[in-house]
Structure 1
Amino acid sequence: MRYLWIVAGMVGLSGMAAAQDAATDRSVFTEFENCEDRDPGDLAPYLQVCEGPDGREIWLPYSEHSGAMAIGPNGIETQLDERPEIGGLDMLIGPVIDWRYADGAPTPYAAIVRYRGMTPNYDADAAEFTGGAVTNSNVLVVIALREQGPVSACHVGYVDAMQVPNANERAHALAAELAPDFHCGADRIRYVGDGKPGAD
Structure 2
Amino acid sequence: MPATLPTATPTAATSKRGRPGYDQQSVLRIAVEVFNKHGYEATSMGILAENLGISKSAIYHHVPSKEDLLRLALEQALGGLESVLKLDGATSGAADARLEFVLRGTIGVLVERLPFVTLLLRLRGNTEMERDALARRRTFDRTITSLVSAAQQDGTLRTDIDPGTITRLLFGTINSIVEWYKPGGPLSASKLADDVISMAFQGLHR
> Where on the TM-score scale, by shorter chain, does this alignment land: which range?
under 0.3
**Structure showing greater relative contact order (alpha-carbon pairs closer than 8 Å, 6 or more residues apart):** 1
Larger radius of gyration: 2
Q: Which protein has the bigger helix share?
A: 2
Q: Higher strand fraction: Structure 1 or Structure 2?
A: 1
TM-score (norm 2): 0.26
